[in-house]
């Protein structure tokens, strides 16, 4: 493998020492680039046998001009910046790292749920302003026995469902792909419409696809309970942000918590930023020190695995 080269198209991590150790351990070379555009990738990565990719666009145009590339591994779960069909046409194996932050994301969703429902951020900010009054939080409802709806029952959705069940919630679930990571006998499977109607909290854990883009639009938000909360730790475009702004303004739902947005970071004039009932965190649900290291190691190991003729552990497309 000594003549092989693995390029990193782009990476905002403070170090790539973990990837470098894995790749050099396989007697391959590694080159770190700072690609932002299609032109950058074509110029810098044409000689790569494999790529690790974070945000740089990997379109059909780009993939058609990477003649040596045999594998691309995405840092993370989502692969919406990669043209999967084109990669398959050009014989490029696409992989991701779907299992590195399962506990982190499901924990973050739980934290956002409790922050919304117990209104801890609202109350904490009031105290800092010199207000010592619980009544501004009314109503706060008892959480045990409430119904949590989980959209997407893959690894993370299943982990969240187990944690919510263990905390005393009734759990219902909907998965548009009808694929479930594991048996969850305590989760009642329902239709999407029924989930909207019955849930006191909805937590989104599905991938962004053509089917799930703007899955939560005006009609879906209007179908929710006016006392319900919506949580998104998946992908921003699953929620129509204009519709969510209207929902919060007009009281269709009680609040929302977003770790992901359509545009990241959001523009300062994004109307969702003005709602006290909308908590926004900076796409951090995936993060812990352990998950960070695991992501980098597994991405590099997967690229090496494919380039040494082994079967990938996390294939996205079938060649």
Of the residues 33, 235, 262, 305, only one is catalytic, namely 235
Catalytic annotation on 108?
A: no
Q: What's the token pair of residue 186?
A: 């305590």
Using CA atoms, how far apart are residues 228 and 230, in angstroms rounded to an integer? 7
Of the residues 283, 294, 297, 313, only one is catalytic, namely 283
Of the residues 177, 264, 274, 276, only one is catalytic, namely 264
Cβ atoms 277, 255 nearer than 8 A: yes
| Other C-beta atoms lying within 10 Å of the C-beta of residue 136 | 11
Catalytic annotation on 283?
A: yes
At residue 125, φ and ψ (nearest 5 deg) are -65, -35
Residues acting as catalytic residues: 235, 264, 283
């Amino acid at each position: 493998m000594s003549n092989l080269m693995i390029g990193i198209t782009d990476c905002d991590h403070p170090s790539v020492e973990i990837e470098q150790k894995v790749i050099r351990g396989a007697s391959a070379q590694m080159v770190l680039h700072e690609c932002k555009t299609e032109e950058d990738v074509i110029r810098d990565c044409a000689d790569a046998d494999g790529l690790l990719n974070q945000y740089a666009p990997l379109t059909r145009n780009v993939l058609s001009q990477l003649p040596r590339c045999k594998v691309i591994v995405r840092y993370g779960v989502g692969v919406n910046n990669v043209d999967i069909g084109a990669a398959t046409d050009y014989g490029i194996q696409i992989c991701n790292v779907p299992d590195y932050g399962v506990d982190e994301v499901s924990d973050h969703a739980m934290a956002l749920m409790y922050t919304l429902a117990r209104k801890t951020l609202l109350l904490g900010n009031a105290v800092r302003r010199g207000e010592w009054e619980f009544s501004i939080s009314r109503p706060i409802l008892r959480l045990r026995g409430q119904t949590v709806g989980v959209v997407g029952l893959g690894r993370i959705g299943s982990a969240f469902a187990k944690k919510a069940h263990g905390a005393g919630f009734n759990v219902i679930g909907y998965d548009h792909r009808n694929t479930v990571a594991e048996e969850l006998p305590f989760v009642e499977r329902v239709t999407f419409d029924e989930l909207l109607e019955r849930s006191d909290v909805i937590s989104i854990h599905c991938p962004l696809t053509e089917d799930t883009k703007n899955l939560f639009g005006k009609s879906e938000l209007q179908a929710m309970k006016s006392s319900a909360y919506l949580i998104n730790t998946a992908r921003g475009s699953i929620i129509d942000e204009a519709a969510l702004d209207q929902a919060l303004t007009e009281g269709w739902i009680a609040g929302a918590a977003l770790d992901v947005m359509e545009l990241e970071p959001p523009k300062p004039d994004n109307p969702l930023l003005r709602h006290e009932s909308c908590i926004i965190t900076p796409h951090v649900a995936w993060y812990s020190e352990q998950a960070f290291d695991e992501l980098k190691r597994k991405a590099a190991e997967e690229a090496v695995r494919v380039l040494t003729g082994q079967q990938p552990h996390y294939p996205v497309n079938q060649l």
